[in-house]
Structure 1
Amino acid sequence: MSQSGYRLEFFLPVPILKVMRAVVLFFCFFFFWAMPSSLWAGGGNKPLVVASIFPLAEFAKAVGGQDVEVKLLLPPGADPHSWELSPQDVLALRRARLLVTVGGGLEPWLDDFLKGLSPKNLRTVFMVSEPLKHAHANHDHHHHHGFDPHVWLDFPRDIEFVEKLAQVLGKIMPAKKEIFLQNARKAKLMLQTLHEAYKNSLGACRQKLVPLAGHMAFGYWEKNYGLDFVTLAGLSPEAEPTPKTLYQLIKVIEKNGLKAVYYNEPQNIKFAEIIARETGAKVFYLSTGAILTQEEIAQKLSFWDLMWRNLKYLCLGLECPLQTETTR
């Protein structure tokens, strides 16, 4: 490719690129904020709830039921760290009554949106309000410390979040408050059942060491269920493993007689398969629930479906007594 074919951003300093993106975003917001409401109104009389990632959209649907419209911002396969709002997303946020988001810096686009650009009638519910701390990797053992941003995998926290959603939706639609509270009780029971199944099953595993061909995303399962994940990378999904880290993970599996290797990003299956060929371990997929594969979308799997499947795969690989959703 000739030099003229390169993208301009290769030649611009990062601060200038950020300023340019901010300017474009501002004019995009300004344009849609100035549009007459007759051009963007729609969606019936149900209040619109916009969720940044799939698990939060699932919680909003569970609590809101048939009385709200829920829109998921993050498209299939998108990375919440680098994704940016489109003009259509701006339209949806203008019409929305509630924005449900992780917060804490996980969604960089959120900061620009909330700095004076969000509509006055839009409420925002965060899973975390404090800034997420940076994690540091211990390269000898591949363990990671700091704030794990995958907070939706902390099922007790989800129970509190669902209750908060019901309270906020009750303020938006006071006539439906009792319905939202009733829906929240059902959702909390499902989450509590999931939490108890994980605790009971994983607490009785023969193995507690979980080799993961990917980045660390399951710190809350370590904290809540006593597992010990050994990973190829830290908390960043962009981190690429090296031949050395692959070799080290292979040695961990061989030394401990582990029978399974896991991966949590579809593109990392190739690393899991390399490890499996060297060790004879079986390969299993653990979904964080944040990004669905095309197959999962086609199957219309819910957040709960994904979490029950994760538990099944953990129990198969770690030799645990499986407590399923149907036998709870």
Structure 2
Amino acid sequence: MKTIKTISILLILLVGAFTYYNLHSSGGKEAHKYEQKSKPLIALSTYALYDAAKNIAGDSMECFCVLPYGVEVHDFEPTPKLMAKLHDSDLVVYSGAGLEPWTHTFEDEKNGLDMSGYVKLLDAAHHEDEKEGHRHELQFDPHYWLDVDNMITAVNVLKEKFTKILPANKELYSANAEAYIAKLKEIDVQYRQKMSACKLDTIVVDHNAFSYLAVKYGFHVESVSGLSPDAQPSAKVMNSIIDKVKDKNISTIFFESFASDKVINAIAEDTKVTVDMLQPIANITKKESEEGATYYSLMIQNLQKISEARECR
């Protein structure tokens, strides 16, 4: 009898253990999914917006940049898997102004936020780029985040949106936003001081992502490819740029990170000038991330390069 009783107890324990295991193993994926969704999921379409969002939200939200490291924002197309993640996000903040064609699906979505609707945009004068017979027209220059006043506006918008999602964190978001805005104002002070007395009034770039800086701080931008980084310039445009480099005694010309430097190097070879890189801050590389790059550090890096090229005192 003892043997039968012992066997019965063992069978009961085994069945219980088996049931427990099945319940937890089948629910494991759901539990993991719940853990991932325990914080609001916030998607940002450019690095500049992502940097602001993560500093405002801190650890209270899961913010992620839609762009993989090193990918050009103008050419990016999200995979179906990523699109599903975006539609599941609590908020999808995109730059707008024609920068990301893929975002049109979020225009009528409750979780979509077009930041270009809140900032001051420069008229692109319906600038047209031509490449292999294709014409692309933009009504506005989409690189507005390079104006710190627009970034301040974006920070305040994000603060309000985050507060609506998690009202209990209102004071946290206000404090973080205030600290971030203080850094943006510091950038503005440094640009105004550094750009106050410069010998040259023009910089030459391959892709005109820097008009917001130029308008704000009083200099001109001559670009090879206009607003589209992959547009191929005509011989007329190339000759015009070469003449301006020589006439204005420009010693440094710039290409944009993520864009080919082939054309700008050809101009440099013809004019015997040096070539350097500017960061438009739409995205960063993995190396820049590992080195701790931020919107602030990249803006200051651009300032140092532009001020040297303009021979500022």
TM over 0.5: yes
The alpha-carbon distance between structure 1 residues 241 and 71, as it changes in their structure 2 partners (threshold 3 A), is same
The alpha-carbon distance between structure 1 residues 251 and 198, as it changes in their structure 2 partners (threshold 3 A), is same
Q: CA deviation at 1:294?
A: 4.4
Amino acid in the other structure paired with 2:41: L
User: Is the aligned partner of 1:170 residue 2:163?
Assistant: yes
The alpha-carbon distance between structure 1 residues 146 and 97, as it changes in their structure 2 partners (threshold 3 A), is closer
State the partner residue of 2:239. 247
CA distance in 2, matches of 1:174, 1:109: 31
Amino acid in the other structure paired with 2:254: Y
Q: CA deviation at 1:146?
A: 5.3
**Contact 2:72–2:259 at 8 Å: present in 1 too?**
no
User: After superposition, what is the alpha-carbon deviation per residue over 1:108-129, rounded to whole angstroms, capped at 9, x for unaligned?
Assistant: 22112444xx4x5x3x332212
CA distance in 2, matches of 1:312, 1:97: 38
Amino acid in the other structure paired with 1:256: K
State the partner residue of 1:188. 181
State the partner residue of 1:232. 224
**Contact 2:42–2:90 at 8 Å: present in 1 too?**
yes
State the partner residue of 1:303. 295
User: Is the aligned partner of 1:161 residue 2:154?
Assistant: yes
State the partner residue of 1:125. 113
State the partner residue of 2:264. 272
State the partner residue of 2:127. 136
Q: CA deviation at 1:50?
A: 0.7
**Contact 1:282–1:317 at 8 Å: present in 2 too?**
no
Within-5 A mapping of 1:1-328: 40-43=33-36, 45-115=38-108, 118=109, 122=111, 124-129=112-117, 135-136=126-127, 147-212=140-205, 214-321=206-313
Q: Which runs of 5+ in 2 are unaligned?
A: 1-28, 130-136
Q: CA deviation at 1:176?
A: 0.7
Q: CA deviation at 1:87?
A: 3.3
Q: Which runs of 5+ in 1 are unaligned?
A: 1-35, 139-143, 322-328
CA distance in 1, matches of 2:114, 2:207: 24
CA distance in 2, matches of 1:204, 1:169: 41
Question: Secondary structure of the residue that 1:262 maps to in structure 2?
Answer: strand
The TM-score with structure 2 as length reference comes to 0.79
Q: CA deviation at 1:317?
A: 1.0
User: Which protein shows a greater Rg?
Assistant: 2
Amino acid in the other structure paired with 2:312: C
Question: Secondary structure of the residue that 1:240 maps to in structure 2?
Answer: coil
Q: CA deviation at 1:195?
A: 1.5
Q: CA deviation at 1:76?
A: 2.7
CA distance in 2, matches of 1:235, 1:222: 14
Question: Secondary structure of the residue that 2:204 maps to in structure 1?
Answer: strand
* Aligned length, in residue pairs: 276
Which structure carries more strand by proportion? 2
Question: Secondary structure of the residue that 2:59 maps to in structure 1?
Answer: helix
The TM-score with structure 1 as length reference comes to 0.76
